[in-house]
Amino acid sequence: MLAVTLLAAQGLVVPTTTPSRARARARMSAEPGTVPDYRALTDAEWRERLGEKEYQVLRKEGTEPAWTSPLNDVKESGVFTCAACDSPLFRTSEKFESGSGWPSFWAPTADEALELKTDYKLLLPRTEVLCAACGGHLGHRFSDGPMPTGQRYCMNGVALRFSSETDDPEEAKRAAASFATSALARRPPLAAVLPELVLGSLLVLGELIGLLARGPAAGAGWAAAALPWLPPGGLAGAVLGAFGTTVVTRNVGLLLASQEDDE
């Protein structure tokens, strides 16, 4: 083991373990003035750079088991970076306990830190969250987070690394400066709010029209034609209507709160 260590120090042996955060930064700064094109890396190169669990999540869009990440318990001030390319993504100050079992945040460090895609793997559309720098899969975004954004960025802990403010004060300062100018830090993204507003409004409107079609207007020709396209009525319809009302109320509240923050 000592011999291997000495040879590695002389550059004669290439370490086969996953590069540490410090070595990742060394790679990034190896050519001053250049930005590594992580998206040009091949699958084989990613396999070499990442550990197996990291590779399965970041490159194959896997999901780590809930409640297994030590990052769930992190409360110390600092920055969470991408485990693949070391790009700053989140801060502890925007982290919250969601009860989901995965590290959760209500906003990223910067508007350009993340890339969002629509994911249909579970049939219903979800918003997939990717690292904008390397395209690595991080997790998903849901609209059930706290104010002021109302969003929950539910991340796989294995896709992130944590650097405390004590260990890296400069990175913490850069992340704070980016966050201060981030629109996503002050308001909910319209791409998340508007679809939910439309869906919730349709559920409420459908239930109201259904009540009318089954009640006072039951004999009208339009009522019979409309009923097959309306919510089922009864208990199921009441539940759908209540859900739609909750969705509309929440998202209207988020929009109003964001307007107040701008004033």
Catalytically annotated residue among 82, 85, 131, 154: 154
**Which of 21, 65, 115, 95 is CA-nearest to residue 56?**
65
Question: Given the structure tokens 């091949």, which residue do they identify?
Answer: 42
CA-to-CA distance for 41 and 49, rounded, in angstroms? 10
Spacing of C-alpha 149 from chain mean position: 13
Active site residue 154: yes
Active site residues: 154
